[in-house]
Chain A
Amino acid sequence: MSSKAKKMIRLGGILVSGVFVLYGVVRGEAGIVLNKAVNICFECIGLG
């Protein structure tokens, strides 16, 4: 892969990641993550 192609893919990747994160926050995914993370995850600890 050429250096220029790599740079373009990186730039695209960073832009896409930013858009994805913003879109996810807007539609309430961060809240789902927070809700899951602040309570004991019974599956994670082997009880679920």
Chain B
Amino acid sequence: MKHSIKRKLVQVAAFGYSNPYLMNFKGGKLYQGKWKQFCNPGLNCYSCPAAAFACPIGALQAVNGSANFKLSFYVVGILLAFGVLLGRAVCGWLCPFGLLQELIHKIPSPKLKLKKAFLYLKYVVLVVFVIVLPIAVTDYMGMGKPAFCQYICPAGTLEGGVPLLLSHQALRQTIGSLFTLKVAILIGTVIGCVLVYRFFCKALCPLGAIYGLLNKISIYGLKVDEHKCINCGKCRQICRMEVDPVRATDSAECIRCGECAKACPEGAICVGFAAEGRKSERQPL
């Protein structure tokens, strides 16, 4: 089976297990079972009627902003486990919002590359909106608000806001300037994703920032056999995350999609679990 189709099937399966309760869209209800105490590895809003798990970024802010705790060991532990095991392979293979962005990017239009400075924006979003604001800005009860969800997250607007507002008239009557801001960010993100491959992942996603930092040590990794590599540059040309796999095997931007390994004419690139200890199984093209 073609590698890109295999990855797409895994992404669709991940989207499916993340959002199995499709019938909830009809009544605008949320799944309320015990599975929701577990975090999804990818970005998927827990206010989406179909969602089966908690969003890790939403959960992190919820516990960090609670009256009793200022650091969520539970969510940090889950993120650390996913990160050490998979790194940004979560983004490339398991993230529901990543799949949506890839589908949006298929809309015909001129395709652009993102300036490198924008890649650092997601770390600012992580520190300011996910960590600092929910802990530092609190109400009289000592509770903080999930600033990333509140002011930025387009996944929440798309997966939770739109379907819930369509099915609840009472909620529609409470729409204000904040919702207008979030819809503007959603529209901006959609336009960004049409023009730039995985615009949100590259520029804004705090979850991608966390997994990107763990890419350097993740068990699922990428290895280039220097003896086989002929520096033809085909891997760099095919990479839509704009990574040079030969120079930066542990790049925080690499989502381990494996397209570079398939494009290598010498079979010099290996992507998978414990890649550095394995030899590439592929023969030269």
Contacts and interface: CB of A to CB of B under 8 A. Distances in A.
B73 A37 contact: no
A47 B214 CA distance: 34
A31 B37 contact: yes
Majority secondary structure, A binding face? helix
Interface stretch (B59-67, B99-107, B111-119, B251-259): B59-67
Given A17-B84, A29-B63, A29-B69, A40 B77 contact: no
B160 to A, nearest CB: 5
B275 to A, nearest CB: 11
A25 to B, nearest CB: 6
Contacts of B277: 3
B76 interface: yes
Interface in B140-197: 145-146, 149-150, 153, 156-157, 160-161, 164-165, 171, 174-176, 178-179, 181-183
Contacts of A39: 30
Interface string A7-37: 0011001101111111111011111111011
Contact of B74 (A13, A25, A44): A25
Contact of B157 (A3, A34, A36, A46): A46
A28 B37 CA distance: 11
Interface residues of B, number: 61
Interface in B48-62: 51, 53-55, 58-59, 62
B279 interface: no
Nearest to B155: A44
Nearest to B34: A34
A29 to B, nearest CB: 4
A44 B175 contact: no
B77 A33 contact: no
Nearest to B59: A33
B236 interface: no
A41 B148 CA distance: 12
B80 A20 contact: yes
B84 A46 contact: no
Interface in B72-88: 72-78, 80-81, 83-85
B179 A47 contact: yes
A37 B175 contact: no
Contact of A47 (B31, B55, B84, B174): B174
Which of A16, A31, A47 has the largest number of chain B CB atoms within 10 A? A47
Interface of A: 1, 3, 6, 9-10, 13-14, 16-25, 27-34, 36-41, 43-48
Given A10-B217, A22-B77, A44-B160, 20 more contacts: A6-B217, A9-B217, A13-B80, A13-B214, A17-B84, A29-B72, A30-B74, A32-B69, A33-B36, A34-B37, A36-B54, A36-B58, A36-B62, A37-B59, A38-B33, A41-B149, A45-B47, A45-B171, A46-B181, A47-B174
Interface of B: 30-34, 36-37, 39, 45-47, 51, 53-55, 58-59, 62-63, 66, 68-69, 72-78, 80-81, 83-85, 145-146, 149-150, 153, 156-157, 160-161, 164-165, 171, 174-176, 178-179, 181-183, 214, 216-219, 276-277
